Structure 1
Amino acid sequence: MMVSRGLSSTERRPSFRSKSFSDGRDFENVPETGCLSIIVLGASGDLAKKKTFPALFNLYRQGFLQPSEVHIFGYARTRISDDELRDRIRGHLIHGNGASSKHSEDVSKFMQLIKYVSGSYDAEEGFRLLDKEISAHEISKNSQEGSSRRLFYLALPPSVYPSVCRMIRNCCMNKSDLGGWTRIVVEKPFGKDLESAEELSTHIGELFDEQQIYRIDHYLGKELVQNLLVLRFANRFFLPLWNRDNIDNIQARIFLLFQYLSLIWQIVFREDFGTEGRGGYFDEYGIIRDIIQNHLLQVLCLVAMEKPVSLKPEHIRDEKVKVLQSVLPIEAEEVVLGQYEGYSDDPTVPDNSNTPTFATVILRIHNERWEGVPFILKAGKALNSSKAEIRVQFKEVPGDIFKCKKQGRNEFVIRLQPSEAMYMKLTKALHVHSSSLPEISKLGLSNAGPFKVKKPGLEMSTIQSELDLSYRQRYHGVTIPEAYERLILDTIRGDQQHFVRRDELKAAWKIFTPLLHRIDEGEMKPLPYKPGSRGPVEADELLAKAGYIQTHGYIWIPPTL
């Protein structure tokens, strides 16, 4: 049994077993058993340094990782010492958290929790040594054998998942079941098509139960994505509107600037696996595999799913699978691909690359709620802005007596990043004399979200304004956690709600595999577009054909504090 740490009620820290709204169970009365070992495989790679270790540090800083019970192990092929790994990580921990003496002290204490083990990914010797180090930590914490908890985070390329998982199974499993567990976190991409994804799932599934496997998609850890279920099913306002009778189209899109992407594409699996550059990695997958098939499709599921029986993870994931299984095959005429000019100038990209860096894909869901409503998934790099958002566009008001159709339709916008916000474009008439314009500004209507209002003055004409929930303004001083922090904590708590289940992954790949094979075989060619543009003009034409009406003359400006 764990030795009591003698914490008083005033010293109680955030608990791994805190009450979880995801399944309705009260974890407060479930005793913690065994110490916790977090093993980061691929510890010397960019993903671990820039995402995994900073997330662990922030959990430590907030009291979720206690030195009295937690130890962190790095494992990789690179032959370095404990201190050398700590030095590689240190700068990424301080960056973004400030360089105050308090944070520097936290960093120093956190570093003492990290131990490094070097070894191969396909031989038992290194993993036997890793298991020996983990066991020594568990013994030092007086943890009863079999009660310990082991979390393996695979910050590695999927190509080594089978061998690494086999080594973990053979050498590093929790020895018995006395309240402890072994869990595996695997990063995307989960394969390149349906066949490779199923092959990978089969390899891992033969070694671990589905309850032990956490397929991470960091978009499911974002604040506004996690808010979608609450927004949809806890607000009566949306219930009667969320269907094909009222909604004309729904658009989920991720736009990335070229300069911004130059940072993102570095955060891949660049440990010591080779010399492929940023472009070389991306060219192997393309924008559909990298963003649309996973991030945007997950967002679509949460927007389109039916109300689950409960908030238990399996009930939520059941409904997501039903949505995916209802998606009709993608029609070639409802796809626009693009590749920005100069993409192949990257020496790691083939001169004749057919890889799209931009794509607009229309999905159609064949069920009672969404029949006839186009779901527009759009993503691209080297564009004129960097943002991720969901736009729900409603149908026009029948018999529009104000004739304001030219200003665009009502829209509900969920801005996922940056400047997290939700705002509603509505129609409203304000009978205000032009001299009252300063008062309108005081009410916050001048920049509070796109809805149609009467233009101040003597004429009965309408303009755009908004009803706005901007997180930075509404929740002043509240830090929104990074997605990786949430998801690692969910893994420790055993909550799989925000992770991808095997049948969900299979259904997602089934939707996109035929299209991806046509692209890979050169049957579909990306159109050129200039960096810093909106992408190919044909994409806007496709959206217009699908029924999306763009609002002109309005730009949402995040409110200032």
Structure 2
Amino acid sequence: MHQITKRLQAIVKVAVRIFFVLGASGDLAKKKTFPALFNLFRQGFLHPDEVHIFGYARTKISDDELRNRIRGYLINDKNASPEHVEKLSKFLELIKYVSGSYDSEEGFRLLDKEISEHELSKNSVEGTSRRLFYLALPPSVYPSVCKMIRNFCMNRSDLGGWTRIVVEKPFGKDLESAEQLSTQIGELFEEPQIYRIDHYLGKELVQNLLVLRFANRFFLPLWNRDNIDNVQIVFREDFGTDGRGGYFDEYGIIRDIIQNHLLQVFCLVAMEKPVSLKPEHIRDEKVKVLQSVLPIKDEEVVLGQYEGYRDDPTVPDQSNTPTFATLVLRIHNERWEGVPFVLKAGKALNSRKAEIRVQFKDVPGDIYKCKKQGRNEFVIRLQPSEAMYMKLTVKQPGLEMSTAQSELDLSYVQRYQGVTIPEAYERLILDTIRGDQQHFVRRDELKAAWEIFTPLLHRIDDGEMKPLPYQPGSRGPAEADELLAKAGYVQTHGYKKKTKTTLNPHQATRQECASA
């Protein structure tokens, strides 16, 4: 009895969190994972006495070499204050490196040996640490890595520890491959141990969507087919594949952006109110929305490929991979019947932005003849320059009775001056520590998402649907704007959104043309 009590006291006192970054020498780890961990450390969410970080990869380098590789991503001329440098030094001391293969016992046995030695050094009871494995790796090695973790690096949950696995997209290339991957990982770990990360769910304005919809009375009666004419969810980049052509060509814009990032936003815009804020209740409602989506019609899809894409030596000369897509999703339920949801994504376009644009129907009995000014819209700018605003028709100041379109504007850089908006990866890694799966993709949700897109993707892969050429720096193929008009979107001409210059000297006056 005395030994059990002693052990429990040790568990409470010295249970440690150990992070494993697999693929530690790769770009994702250096640019996203390690910076997110450092920011959490810097803000006090990771305590140096309780946390240790192991990097693991095939590259044969020392602890110091890994630290030096990531140092440049954690400090620059703007944040080189003495306090920051001191914090960085303490953070880098927490990092150790183990080299090994992703499919051999030797490397993972060595990793487990290093863990055990660290636990002993911290006077921790073996099996009580909390082990988080972040797979910053290509999906092709997920099964072998997960098998090695399961066989050699698992923690004993009956002694107060846990083991969690974070996997990055893409989760397969179609329904069959995704299900196969899910089955392979599911045979090794329980669903509550698996965190399928989609960094878009960690963005500040995406996390605000449920609050906006369900904590504000005036949205509740408007958010339906009786008042909303169409919804656009848009992702634009003003650059091409930039050296990633070979990788991108395997997937294309639909797999890379629409099937995951934009579809996650779509779920939050369209879902019903959950029973509670428990993660499973929220994810239940997202699945219901996906299961209500009708099959995508070929005539409601426009594909594009920017001119010059095939000049990349890593891209096949006859590549049929789209770098642009606009498509319409339709939901067969009481709230959204007849409302088109337009998902649009593209590379090498005329601007960089991601936004949600909800366009309301025309005012019935329009006594002010407001149609010429355009419809009411609610716009949520996800990136860059996070903001949300409502386009309204108002009286133009003066003696004449004339109307104009203006906006009610919440620009984050103006309203929340001095507040740092956390990076998506910071928020999501913190969620994994807390065991909160709300912002991660569940297996049945992943399956439902692939069921929507797999038939379309197979027709593209088989060459049955061809992308249209478009000029880099343009809006994409003209046929995409025609599809948007057929879906009911009414573009406002001549309207400019203007915001006053902020007190922040680094923030310039922002103007945004209203066209989507």
TM-score range, shorter chain: over 0.9
Q: 1:399-548 residue pairs with structure 2 within 5 A?
A: 399-426=365-392, 452-548=393-489
Q: 1:140-289 residue pairs with structure 2 within 5 A?
A: 140-258=121-239, 262=242, 277-289=243-255
Q: Deviations over 1:2-26 (max 9, x none)?
A: 9999xxxxxxxxxxxxxxxxxxxxx
Q: Give yes or no for contact 1:44–1:85 (8 Å, CA) kept in 2.
A: yes
Q: 1:372-411 residue pairs with structure 2 within 5 A?
A: 372-411=338-377
Question: What is the distance in 2 between the residues matched to 1:398 and 1:511?
Answer: 35
Q: Give yes or no for contact 2:14–2:123 (8 Å, CA) kept in 1.
A: no
Question: What is the distance in 1 between the residues matched to 2:430 and 2:281?
Answer: 20
Q: Which stretches in structure 2 are left out of the alignment for 5+ residues? A: 1-5, 503-516
Give the letter for the 1:86 counterpart. Answer: R
Q: Give yes or no for contact 1:340–1:531 (8 Å, CA) kept in 2.
A: yes
Q: Which stretches in structure 1 are left out of the alignment for 5+ residues? A: 6-29, 263-276, 427-451
Q: 1:317-336 residue pairs with structure 2 within 5 A?
A: 317-336=283-302
3-state SS, counterpart of residue 103 of structure 2? coil
Specify the alignment match of 1:78 in structure 2.
59
Q: Give yes or no for contact 1:409–1:549 (8 Å, CA) kept in 2.
A: yes
3-state SS, counterpart of residue 533 of structure 1? coil
Question: How far does residue 108 in structure 1 lie from its aligned partner after superposition?
Answer: 1.1
Question: How far does residue 409 in structure 1 lie from its aligned partner after superposition?
Answer: 0.6
Specify the alignment match of 1:364 in structure 2.
330
Question: What is the distance in 2 between the residues matched to 1:96 and 1:329?
Answer: 51
Q: Deviations over 1:425-448 (max 9, x none)?
A: 12xxxxxxxxxxxxxxxxxxxxxx
Q: Give yes or no for contact 1:254–1:387 (8 Å, CA) kept in 2.
A: yes
Q: Give yes or no for contact 2:14–2:50 (8 Å, CA) kept in 1.
A: no
Question: What is the distance in 2 between the residues matched to 1:512 and 1:313?
Answer: 25
Q: Give yes or no for contact 1:145–1:176 (8 Å, CA) kept in 2.
A: no
Q: Deviations over 1:405-434 (max 9, x none)?
A: 1221100001101111110112xxxxxxxx
Question: What is the distance in 2 between the residues matched to 1:553 and 1:370?
Answer: 30
Q: If the length of structure 2 is used for normalisation, what is the TM-score?
A: 0.94
Question: What is the distance in 2 between the residues matched to 1:327 and 1:360?
Answer: 16
Specify the alignment match of 1:552 in structure 2.
493
Question: What is the distance in 1 between the residues matched to 2:7 and 2:26?
Answer: 34
Specify the alignment match of 2:116 in structure 1.
135
Q: 1:30-69 residue pairs with structure 2 within 5 A?
A: 34-69=15-50
Specify the alignment match of 1:337 in structure 2.
303
Question: What is the distance in 2 between the residues matched to 1:254 and 1:3?
Answer: 51
Specify the alignment match of 1:306 in structure 2.
272
Give the letter for the 1:180 counterpart. Answer: G
3-state SS, counterpart of residue 218 of structure 2? coil
Q: Give yes or no for contact 2:320–2:461 (8 Å, CA) kept in 1.
A: yes
Give the letter for the 1:234 counterpart. Answer: A
Alpha-carbon spacing, 1:158–1:557, altered in 2? closer, same or farther (3 Å): farther
**Higher mean Cα deviation, 405-414 or 499-508?**
405-414
Q: Deviations over 1:22-61 (max 9, x none)?
A: xxxxxxxx97861000000000000000000000000000
Question: How far does residue 559 in structure 1 lie from its aligned partner after superposition?
Answer: 4.3
Q: Give yes or no for contact 2:374–2:405 (8 Å, CA) kept in 1.
A: no
Alpha-carbon spacing, 1:160–1:239, altered in 2? closer, same or farther (3 Å): same
Question: How far does residue 463 in structure 1 lie from its aligned partner after superposition?
Answer: 1.7
Question: What is the distance in 2 between the residues matched to 1:341 and 1:2?
Answer: 66
Q: Does 1:91 align with 2:72?
A: yes
Question: What is the distance in 2 between the residues matched to 1:345 and 1:82?
Answer: 40
Alpha-carbon spacing, 1:158–1:96, altered in 2? closer, same or farther (3 Å): farther
Name the Cα RMSD after superposition.
1.7
Alpha-carbon spacing, 1:53–1:559, altered in 2? closer, same or farther (3 Å): farther
Question: What is the distance in 2 between the residues matched to 1:504 and 1:32?
Answer: 38
Q: If the length of structure 1 is used for normalisation, what is the TM-score?
A: 0.87
Alpha-carbon spacing, 1:167–1:558, altered in 2? closer, same or farther (3 Å): farther
3-state SS, counterpart of residue 232 of structure 2? strand
Question: What is the distance in 1 between the residues matched to 2:188 and 2:223?
Answer: 42
Q: Deviations over 1:346-387 (max 9, x none)?
A: 110011110000000100000000000000000001001100
Q: Give yes or no for contact 1:419–1:558 (8 Å, CA) kept in 2.
A: no
Question: How far does residue 560 in structure 1 lie from its aligned partner after superposition?
Answer: 3.0
Question: How far does residue 102 in structure 1 lie from its aligned partner after superposition?
Answer: 1.6
Question: What is the distance in 2 between the residues matched to 1:97 and 1:239?
Answer: 44
Question: What is the distance in 1 between the residues matched to 2:398 and 2:12?
Answer: 66
Specify the alignment match of 1:107 in structure 2.
88
3-state SS, counterpart of residue 422 of structure 1? strand
